Amino acid sequence: MAATRGTQMLTKAGVAFALHPYDYDPNAEKIGLAAAAALGLDPALMLKTLMVEVDGKPACCVIPAGDSLSMKKVAAAFGGKAAAMMPVPKAEKLTGYHVGGISPFGTQRPVPVVIEAAPCTAAKVWINAGQRGLLLSIAPADALRVLGAKAAPLTA
């Protein structure tokens, strides 16, 4: 399994993580839930990475795979007035990753990150490692620290 920019970033920062490859299904209706099912994970701890724009500025939200963003909560978490999903081509260009493999770690251009507060109390969460079909497990505190992120309510 080749290293991704995300795994390289974590290794360089000295953060402990484990890799979990799985069979990626490009036709899955909900990719994060399909990944959780493939690995037998609790969907509440399988986190998906969503790129957004808050007042026109790029930002990253990390939330449980089965949840939906509340744009009102997203705007508040980043101290803005309005939030919207980032268009796919823009998200792929900004992160350097393809949708289905976007990770908050090792993005082409660093952006502010907020992680949903609820799973941050768990011992471990699973997040995309920067490649379709590859997750990493990490302690939420380590993810928050290495990303310079904060935990806040983001879901509807």
pLDDT in tens, 94-116: 999 999 999 999 999 999 999 99
- pLDDT of 72 reads 98
- Contact present, 142 and 125 (Cβ < 8 Å): no
pLDDT score, position 1: 57
Low-confidence ranges of the chain (pLDDT < 50): none
The C-alpha atoms of residue 13 and residue 42 are separated, in whole angstroms, by 27
Q: Structure pTM?
A: 0.95
Taking residue 39's Cβ as centre, other Cβ atoms within 10 Å add up to: 15
Domain extents in the chain: 5-152
Fold for domain 5-152? YbaK protein (3.90.960)
Helices (H) and strands (E) in the chain, counts: 5, 8
pLDDT of residue 132: 93
pLDDT of residue 25: 87
The tokens for 72 are: 């009102």
State how far the Cα of 61 lies from the Cα of 49, in Å rounded to an integer: 6
Residues 125 and 142: their CA atoms lie apart, in Å, by 10
- Three-state DSSP at 97 gives coil
